[in-house]
């Protein structure tokens, strides 16, 4: 495998993942411009969209489309190009490729084939919203877009309700109110939240500080633009008294909602304050009389 760091950029046979602006054109770094101007080809979600961005920087590049509907077909083609010594860049419509955007499978395939992969970092809506939210950023979870409906959505909401770390969610404007209502139902309307709207753009805004307050705001002001929701973690639970039958019933209800035994034990551990292993044991007939 080549050592990409030792060559001038862009180097032959290397795949560059290049972060692009999420709003502010000034966020395309000089290094990103240099790599994009120098690679043999740029794979992008939408050639028209990326073509316009690059044109604005005087970059005249060979573009090819790479999106969720054609990536299976494109990956072997791009691996062949890397093997032939081409330098390639991957960009998405905005932000970092691979973050709720295509990229992950191509990177895995390129690494498996022994090609160099280098990220030229750039903006990412999730981390940008997190660090400006004022909510704890020491440990956090990226959730991206929740499943639209059904059991999968309920499961994820249930896990979020008990997640002690700050969580980051993406949402489309026409679904923001529903997301906030679902979060209020599962996490309680007083859970801290910051809704980051139009980050890095002219009308950038943060709306919080609780789910109830954000809901009240967006019920008055129709959500427009792009949104990242930063959800505060669940407060640490006060340990409840150990009541084996009641706890087993709660575990079984969590399993009935679709969680595995270990997920159910982890979820209940967070809300009850009891150790996860002890709860897991309860599901298998241990600790009855403790
Ligand atoms: N790859 C991108 C990244 O690194 O952030 C994310 C792509 S995902 C398809 C697009 C979603 O990211 C939007 O629906 C929105 O939830 C969020 N997003 C993107 N740009 C944003 C912005 N300027 N302000 C707030 N959220 C944004």
Task: Assign residue 158 a region (left: φ > 0; alpha: ψ between -120 and 50; beta: otherwise).
Answer: alpha
Partners of 168 in beta bridges: 142, 230
Q: Which of 4-13, 37-46, 83-92, 266-275 has the lowest mean pLDDT?
A: 4-13
Per-residue pLDDT tens over the stretch 39-54: 999 999 999 999 999 9
For the chain, the helix, strand and coil percentages under 3-state DSSP, each to the nearest 5? 45, 15, 40
Indicate whether residue 45 lines ligand 1 (CB < 6 A): no
Ligand 1 centre distance from Cα of residue 237 (Å)? 33
Specify the pLDDT at position 276: 86
Ligand 1 centre distance from Cα of residue 266 (Å)? 30
Indicate whether residue 168 lines ligand 1 (CB < 6 A): no
Take atom 19 of ligand 1 and give the residue whose Cα is closest: 125
Does the pLDDT of residue 1 top 80, yes or no? no
Specify the pLDDT at position 5: 52
Which residue intervals of 68-124 are DSSP H helices?
A: 71-83, 104-112
Ligand 1 centre distance from Cα of residue 45 (Å)? 14
Same fold, 4-123 and 129-145+165-231: no
Q: Which of 100, 143, 171, 198 to mutate to test the pocket of ligand 1 (most atoms within 8 A of CB)?
A: 100
Ligand 1 centre distance from Cα of residue 105 (Å)? 20
Using an 8 Å Cβ cutoff, are 191 and 210 in contact?
yes
Superfamily for the 129-145+165-231 domain? Tetrapyrrole methylase, C-terminal domain (3.30.950.10)
Specify the pLDDT at position 242: 87
Superfamily for the 4-123 domain? Tetrapyrrole methylase, N-terminal domain (3.40.1010.10)
Specify the pLDDT at position 259: 86
Indicate whether residue 283 lines ligand 1 (CB < 6 A): no
Indicate whether residue 101 lines ligand 1 (CB < 6 A): yes
Specify the pLDDT at position 4: 52
Does the pLDDT of residue 70 top 70, yes or no? yes
DSSP-derived pairing of the beta strands 88-91 and 116-120: unpaired
Specify the pLDDT at position 290: 42
Specify the pLDDT at position 7: 62
Residue in the block written with tokens 């860049």: 89
- Give the nearest ligand 1 atom to 19 CA: 4
Indicate whether residue 228 lines ligand 1 (CB < 6 A): yes
Ligand 1 centre distance from Cα of residue 227 (Å)? 7
Indicate whether residue 205 lines ligand 1 (CB < 6 A): no
Name the residue ranges covered by the structural domains of the chain: 4-123, 129-145+165-231, 244-283
Per-residue pLDDT tens over the stretch 200-218: 999 999 999 999 999 999 9
Take atom 2 of ligand 1 and give the residue whose Cα is closest: 95
Ligand 1 centre distance from Cα of residue 125 (Å)? 5
Ligand 1 centre distance from Cα of residue 228 (Å)? 7
- Give the nearest ligand 1 atom to 171 CA: 16
Q: How confident is the prediction for the chain on average, in pLDDT?
A: 93
The closest of 169, 217, 227 to 196, measured between CA atoms, is 227
Q: How confident is the model at residue 289 (pLDDT cuts 50, 70, 90)?
A: very low
Indicate whether residue 230 lines ligand 1 (CB < 6 A): no
The closest of 185, 180, 182 to 195, measured between CA atoms, is 180
Select the more confidently predicted residue: 2 or 203: 203
Q: Which of 13-17, 157-161, 240-244 has the lowest mean pLDDT?
A: 240-244
DSSP-derived pairing of the beta strands 14-18 and 63-65: unpaired
Select the more confidently predicted residue: 2 or 213: 213
Q: Which of 198, 228, 230, 231 to mutate to test the pocket of ligand 1 (most atoms within 8 A of CB)?
A: 228
Enumerate residues 6+ apart whose C-beta is below 8 A from 221.
none
Report how far residue 191's alpha carbon sits from residue 213's, in angstroms, rounded to the nearest whole number: 10
């Amino acid at each position: 495998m080549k050592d990409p760091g030792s060559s001038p950029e862009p180097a032959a046979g290397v795949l560059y993942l290049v972060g692009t602006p999420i709003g502010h054109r000034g966020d395309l770094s000089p290094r990103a411009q240099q790599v994009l101007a120098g690679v043999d080809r740029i794979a992008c979600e939408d050639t028209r969209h990326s073509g316009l961005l690059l044109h604005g920087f005087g970059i005249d590049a060979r573009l090819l489309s790479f999106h969720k509907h054609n990536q299976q077909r494109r990956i072997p083609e791009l691996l062949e190009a890397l093997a032939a010594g081409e330098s390639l860049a991957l960009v998405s419509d905005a932000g970092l490729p691979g973050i709720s955007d295509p990229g992950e499978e191509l990177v895995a395939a390129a690494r498996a084939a022994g090609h160099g992969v280098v990220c030229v970092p750039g903006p990412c809506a999730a981390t940008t919203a997190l660090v400006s939210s004022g909510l704890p950023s020491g440990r956090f979870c990226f959730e991206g877009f929740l499943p639209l409906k059904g059991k999968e959505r309920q499961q994820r909401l249930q896990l979020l309700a008990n997640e002690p770390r700050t969580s980051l969610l993406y949402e489309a404007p026409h679904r923001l109110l529903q997301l906030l209502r679902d979060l209020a139902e599962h996490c309680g309307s007083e859970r801290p939240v910051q809704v980051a709207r139009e980050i890095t753009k002219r009308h950038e805004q943060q709306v919080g500080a609780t789910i109830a307050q954000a809901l009240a705001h967006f019920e008055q002001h129709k959500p427009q633009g792009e949104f990242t929701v930063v959800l505060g973690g669940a407060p640490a639970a006060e340990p409840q008294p150990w009541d084996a039958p009641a706890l087993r019933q709660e575990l079984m209800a969590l399993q009935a909602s679709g969680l595995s035994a270990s997920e159910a034990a982890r979820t209940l551990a967070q809300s009850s304050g009891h150790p996860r292993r002890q709860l897991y044991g309860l599901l298998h007939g241990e600790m009855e009389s403790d």
